[in-house]
Amino acid sequence: MRDLPLPLALTARLLPVALLACGGWAMTSGPFAAEPAGQDSARAPESTSGPASASPSAPSASAATQTYAKAPDPCAGLAGKTVTSLVPGAKAAGKEIASTDESLRRTCSWNALHGYDYRWLDVSYEIRKSDDEARSAYEQRTGEKSGGGSVPGLGDAAYSVVDVATEDGQQTREGVVIVRASNALVVVTYNGSDFESKKAPSADVINKGAIKAAKEAVAALDGGG
């Protein structure tokens, strides 16, 4: 076979390269090119008869709510006159009990012996992550203390119980009030003994005292105490 003239030979060799180049242009810049990322979102929809696109997800109705972010100062939750009336002889300032996490739980304690009459009062705040968590804790606490009853008009839910114990002939009566207010729990413990008569204060005295302290402590959550 006779060799091709030089220009024709060169053309034959370059033709495959040209075809590949044209094919590459068609795939990258021509009619077969893929659209750049994100371009689909800028194009107008071709038809409105199809299903509507999903809207952004709205927050779940069961999402955790947290009305109170941290526990207030428990020793400032009661008025000075309330402390002195419930715990005669005690300093109104009270004493805060050490806590591993004061943003979640804080407790203040008052106690004093006035003559032969002894009183002890604790006010505790517990902050939970949500209303549901606080509700669960409230139900568990109240379920563990039978014999009590609800306290209407106090927080979202409130429960009061009074018990009496006798040791070595000495009676001690204790009242506990548990309150749930949104995602917070307020727990008041109030007890007393008379070391002269060996008797305890009446259930009415202890119960009313604990409820009075609980009402002020709950008001203090919103700065009303």
Helix (H) or strand (E) holding 221: helix 203-221
Q: Using 70 as the pLDDT threshold, list the residues of the chain that sit under it.
A: 1-65, 224-225
Query: What's the order of all strands across the beta sheet hosting 170-181?
Result: 95-97, 105-114, 117-127, 184-194, 170-181, 157-167, 149-150
Comparing C-alpha atoms, which of 107, 105, 108, 116 is closest to residue 170? 116
Give the separation between CA 24 and CA 151, rounded to whole angstroms: 81
Give the separation between CA 217 and CA 182, rounded to whole angstroms: 14
The whole-chain average pLDDT of the chain stands at: 80
Q: What is the pLDDT of residue 82?
A: 97
**Could you give the C-alpha distances from 179 to 128, 182, 192, 209, 222, in angstroms and in order?**
13, 10, 21, 15, 14
The residue whose two tokens read 């810049």 is: 29
The residue whose two tokens read 């927080």 is: 155
State CA 194 to chain mean position distance. 41
Q: Are the C-beta atoms of 87 and 75 separated by less than 8 Å? A: no
Query: What pLDDT digit, counting tens, does each position of 65-109 carry?
Result: 589 999 999 999 999 999 999 999 999 999 999 887 877 899 999
The strand pairing partners of 163, in sequence order, are: 174
Q: What is the pLDDT of residue 102?
A: 79
Q: Give the three-class secondary structure for 82.
A: helix
Give the separation between CA 143 and CA 56, rounded to whole angstroms: 42
